[in-house]
Amino acid sequence: MRGSLCRTKSISMDDGHFYIVMEWLGEGNSEAAMGPLPVDNDTARHTAQQALKGLRTLHTHNVTHCDVSLRNLMPQRSRAVLVDFDTALVPGLDRHTNVWGTLNYTAPEVFESCDYGPASDLWAMGVCIFELVTGRMPFFCLDRRPQSVRNALKAMRRGVRFTASDGVPDAAQDLIRGLLTYDKHRRIQSGGGGL
């Protein structure tokens, strides 16, 4: 999916380093390019669709991004592009044994057992969409200390909450709830499932 993933231009290696040259997407990220949050429903819908298409492509190739966040989603005219694959899991690599990525986008199964996979990427996409349409985070984890993680997991178990002032359409609320389902086996199972 050319439009939803950052394209690789070249890959090289020297004695001690591995280099990946990717397409230039300009400066900034969703947080900077979209301006203040929340964004209008059409912008949120378009951004979510593009990112979910990118995740569907990654997951079809058994790649897990592991750090989906608004900082790693670049709006580019008619497309939104997933970037920053430095923590991605690809076939043949060992699983992560620590929590990586941006804490407030981290799925419960990652906090509990470093269980990165398509479900954890989809959880993070649910956080992104929630943030786009409400202007706030659905859950907070301030740091990796056990008490902070326990508090975050407790809030995640309760589920995402919308307020009347959010003005989020019912269909968007259903999508977000489907992506932010605590049990990964009951969560929307693919990027295509959210489209």
Cα–Cα distance, 39 to 12 (Å, whole number): 39
Cα–Cα distance, 59 to 17 (Å, whole number): 27
Structure tokens at 21: 């040259």
The gap between the terminal CA atoms of the chain, to the nearest Å, is 15
Beta carbons of 194 and 48 less than 8 angstroms apart = yes
Spell out the residues 6+ positions from residue 28 whose beta carbon is closer than 8 angstroms to its own: 74
Cα–Cα distance, 116 to 139 (Å, whole number): 19
E strand or H helix that includes residue 8: strand 8-13
Cα–Cα distance, 181 to 183 (Å, whole number): 6
Question: Which among 14, 15, 42, 67 is annotated as catalytic?
Answer: 67
Q: For the chain, what is the total number of helices (H) and then of strands (E)?
A: 6, 4
Active site annotation includes 42:
no
In single-letter form, the type of residue at position 45 comes to R
* Active site (catalytic) residues: 67
